[in-house]
Every structure is written in C-alpha cells, then in structure tokens.
Amino acid sequence: MTGNWRERPAKVQIQESELPSSVPPQTGLTFNVWYNKWSQGQSGSSRFVNPYSLDSENDAGVTNGDKEKRIHFCLYFAKGMCCLGRKCKYLHHIPEADDFARLALHSSALDCFGREKFADYRDDMGGVGSFKKPNRVLYVGGVTGALNNKNLKAHQIENRIRFKFSKLGELDSVRYVENKNCAFVKFKLQCNAEFTKEAMGNTTLLIPTDKEWDQRKEGTGLLVKWANEDPNPAVRKRELEEQTQETLKAIKQLVANKEGAASQKRKVEHIEDELDSQVNRGEQRTIEDGSILDQALLNKLKQKRMVISNKKKAISVTVSKPNPVLTLVNQYSSDDD
C-alpha cells in the first residue's frame, strides 16, 4: 500500500490491547514509581530494542489532526505504536517542506512533536534539543548493538543507515566513521531530524533477510542523538557560506513581506480615504436629493468602516493589554496558600 498518504486514512499501527506496559523491563530489584525506573541490584543495560517500528510508506495517512489543521506530529506514530490511526489528533506522516514552514512560523521553541526545547542540549546530547541554533545533524551510535554483533563491512553498514534514514526525510549527507563505528546523518530539514531522532532511536539495523532477524530484540538498538558542530574547518566554512545564503534569502523575503504589508496598509488607507470621500459625496447627495437610497448606502459604508476599525482596535488591544479582553482564571499554586 504505497502512494500518496493524503489519499488514504492513517493505519492503526498496533491494537490498544497490544500496547506494552508502561513499566520498563525489569533491570533492578525495586521499581521507583517517580522516575519510572528500576533501581538497586545490578543494573544491566537499560536499553532495549523497540519491538515496533515505523513503516513510513504504509503507516502514513490522513488523521483527524489534518482535518483540524494541527501542525504537530504524533510521537507514537514515529515510534510505530499509535493505536488511534486516523482518529489520532496529531499528524501521521513524514514531515515535508510545507510542514517545516508551518512549524517554523508557529514557534522556534517547540519541536515537531510539540515538545518544548531547551536553551542548552542535555549533557549526553539526547532529548528534545536546543532552540538556540537549528541542528539538522544526528549522531548515530550503538551500531554493533543494533546489528546484534553481526560482522558487516563499512560500506554495508553505511548503506543500511542510508537506506533506513532516507525513508524518514530527504538526506543531505551520511558519513560513517569506520574506526569510531558511528555515523553522522544530515537532513535537509530540521523537523526531519527531530522526527527521525525519535523514530530511529532504539531500533535495529537488521533486515528480515538476515539470519539474526529473529533475535533482533536481544540487541540494544541504535543510539540516536544530536550531533555537535563539525570541527572540520572546511565544513565550517561551507556551512557558514550556506548560512549566509539562507540569511540573505530570508532577508529578501522579510523585506518583500514588509513592503507587501506596507503597500497593503497603504491600500487600506486608500480605501478608507475613498470611503470617506464616498461618504462625503453620499452626504452631499442626501442633502441635495434627500433620497433614502443613498442613506442605505451610507449606512453600509459606515458598517464597513466600523468593521475595519474594530479589527484594528481588537488586535491592538489584545496585544498590549490582554487582561480586560480575556477572562482571567487564577490557579493558585501551593506557594500562595
């Protein structure tokens, strides 16, 4: 079932009854309810292979979120375990260029799943990421664990990574570092990197034709994190150049928008002037002719003007002083008590 995801409803990835327990597999003696973790005893590797994985071609489709024009993606869909399918309130497809534009316009502090970003990266470079600077590069580690210690040549591993990651968005580059056994995957769009980080984390690199496919859950899965900036001076130079070009483009767009807005404003003023002049003319006519028809026209014009001015007023009021317009509900925190 391939083809355009827009023409079909999203598939239910797993049934609700099959959903895994929220308690992770036992790695300690006691379970800490607060941190949702096992503690005490020998804590073995707490990482495990996600038994579900996203089948990007077949699972994508239209959801209720598309109808409600939401912009954030379903985190469960990315992990291949959304049990709602088309009833889900979040989007079920791979982020595309127009999604990226909408997300960027919406907020720079939220990722593509609607989670808040932070000023700094976590110490281990995992997690949601930072809003300070866009990052389109992912670090892919734990390759041996994801292959269940299967011996593969470097180019085979690179091809597998490229194959798996290219399904989740347009790639810019893939670089496999053989002696460190890790890879750096660069995407064209930032939201694709965010999506892929969740979708590919803790998944296996094995494919069904491998002998080890049946034992795939015994491995540890891929470790996908944010990449630090490339220290290579040549790459930095290129990136700086790219950034300058993008900034120039953005500047052009911004200036064009500003000029467009200014001309629109002028247009509105022009229309208002015309309205005024028409109103004046109307008044003159009423005085001259004393007919009722012109009075009706006058009222209409007045109403139109009212709408325009009201709109302006409403915007300015909500921006500067929301309190009188919006109802306030105080939720007292424990500090106040």
Partner 1 sequence: MNQASSELKICERCLPSGKNTPTLVRYPNGRECKLCTFPFDSYSYTSNHTAFHTIACPKCAAKNMICQVCLNDFEHGIPMHLRNAMKQLVNEDADSVIPKNDMMKRFVGLSSKQVAPLDINKLKNADSIRKWKVRELPYHSSINNTKGTFFLYNIDSTLTEPQIVSQLIVVTHNNLERENVVLHINPKFRIATLTFKRDAQLWAQKLISILPKFKTGTAVEKCYLTLRGNRIHLTACTPEELDTQNINLEEEWEGPVKKIISKDAQAIGSDSIKNNQKIKSKSKSKSKANSNPHTKSKSVRGRHRLSL
List contacts with partner 1 (CB under 8 A). Answer: 68-72, 89, 104-110, 114, 116, 118-120, 131-134, 243-244, 247-248, 250-251, 254-255, 258, 315, 318-319, 321-323, 325-333, 335-336
Which residue, 33 or 328, has its beta carbon nearer to partner 1?
328
Q: How far is CA 149 from the centre of its chain?
A: 34
Q: What are phi and psi of 200, to 5 degrees?
A: -95, -10
Tell me how far, at minimum, the Cβ of 114 lies from partner 1, in Å. Answer: 8
Nearer to partner 1, 30 or 253 (CB): 253
Q: Give Cβ neighbours of residue 323 (< 8 Å, ≥ 6 apart).
A: none
Residue with tokens 């088309």: 86
CB of 319 to partner 1, least distance (A): 6
CB of 133 to partner 1, least distance (A): 5
Residue 130 Cβ vs partner 1, minimum distance, rounded to whole Å: 9
Distance (Å, whole) CA 277 – CA 282: 8
Q: Is 284 helix (H, G, I), strand (E, B) or coil?
A: helix
Write down the least CB distance from residue 36 to partner 1, Å.
22
Any bridge partners for residue 244, and if so which?
none
Closest to partner 1 by CB, 38 or 187: 187
**Whole-angstrom distance, CA of residue 198 vs CA of residue 328:** 37
Which structure tokens are listed for 148? 């269940």
Tell me the closest approach of the beta carbon of residue 132 to partner 1, in angstroms: 6
59 Cβ contact list (under 8 Å, min separation 6): 10, 11, 13, 77, 80, 92
Least distance from partner 1 to the Cβ atom of residue 311, Å: 10
- Report strand pairing: 223-226 vs 37-39: unpaired
Q: Which is nearer to partner 1, 110 or 298 (CB)?
A: 110
The answer to whether 216 touches 149, Cβ cutoff 8 Å, is no
Q: What is the DSSP letter of 184?
A: E
Tokens 């496999």 found at = 176
State which residue, 108 or 299, has the beta carbon closest to partner 1. Answer: 108
Name, in order, each residue with C-beta under 8 angstroms of 2's C-beta and a sequence gap of 6 or more.
57, 58
Helix (H) / strand (E) containing 140? strand 137-141
**Least gap, CB of 270 to partner 1 (angstroms):** 22
Q: Which is nearer to partner 1, 20 or 322 (CB)?
A: 322
Cα–Cα distance, 60 to 7 (Å, whole number): 10
132 vs 155 by CB, closer to partner 1: 132
User: Which residue, 284 or 310, is less far from partner 1 as judged by CB?
Assistant: 310
Return the SS3 of 64.
Answer: helix
